[in-house]
Amino acid sequence: MLNAGDRAPDFSLESDSGKAVSLADFPGKTVVLYFYPKDDTPGCTRENQAFSAALQAFDDAGAVVLGVSRDSVERHRKFRDKYDLGVTLLSDPELAAHNAYGAYGEKTMYGKKVTGAIRSTFIIGPDRKVKHAFSGVKVDGHADAVLALVRGGGASEAPAPRTPTKGAAAKSAAPRSSAAKSAARAPAKKAAVKAPAKPVTRSR
C-alpha cells in the first residue's frame, strides 16, 4: 500500500458518466481517492452517501472526490441513480488502480483470510504526492475525518489503542496531587480507645 510521501500513480478509468478520468484532469487540486469493495452493499452504500453528502464542503476546500471499485460502468450508474449519489464513481474491473495503490490483496472477513478489495482512502496533494493514507477503513465517520484533513485540521478517526507495557503504564499514570502525596506519607492515626463505663451502684 502507498504511504504518505509516495508519488501517486496516475490512472485512466471510465466514470459512471462514461468519461475517462485521470489524476492529470485535476491540476492544482487535492484529490480524495477512495477504494471500496462493491456497489449497493450496506457499508459501501453508507460510505458513498457520506462522501456525496460532503461533496460541496470538499469542493469549497479545493478537493475532488473519486470513488473506485471493480463494478462495471453500468452498475455504477444504477448505484448512483438508486441513491442519488453525487460523487464520481470509477470502474476498475482489471484492478489496475487497485494494484497500483495497494488496495487489493489479502484481508480478513468474518475471521477468515480472503483476497479482495481493501477499503482504502488516499488524500493526494496538488503536487501528486500522497498526503494521508487510510487502509482497512471503518465507514462511519470516515468522510468527516478525511474532510478535516483536507481542510488542514485533525482527523476524527483515531488509531487503534495499543496495549501499554508495564513500564509504559507506570510512566503514563496520572500524577497524584500534593495533598494526596502528603496523605500517603502521614502516619495513620490510632483510633481513640474509650475507657469502659463504670458500673453504677444503686443504693437500696
Distances (CA, A) of 31 to 20, 59, 87, 187, 191: 16, 10, 12, 65, 72
Q: Once rounded to an integer, what is the mean pLDDT over residues 127-148?
A: 97
Q: Once rounded to an integer, what is the mean pLDDT over residues 112-120?
A: 93
pLDDT band at 109 (very low <50, low <70, confident <90, very high): confident
Q: Once rounded to an integer, what is the mean pLDDT over residues 95-115?
A: 92
Number of H-type helices and E-type strands within the chain: 7, 9
Tell me the whole-structure pTM to 2 decimals: 0.74
Q: Once rounded to an integer, what is the mean pLDDT over residues 49-59?
A: 98
Least confident of 19-33, 107-121, 127-141, 178-192: 178-192
pLDDT of residue 159: 37
Active-site residue flag, 44: yes
Give the max Cα distance, the chain: 119
Q: Which of 44, 103, 146, 147 is catalytic?
A: 44
Q: Which domains does the chain have, with CATH numbers?
A: 29-150 (3.40.30.10)
What mean pLDDT, rounded, does the chain reach? 83
* 3-state SS, one letter per residue, for 49-60: HHHHHCHHHHHH
Q: Once rounded to an integer, what is the mean pLDDT over residues 24-43?
A: 98
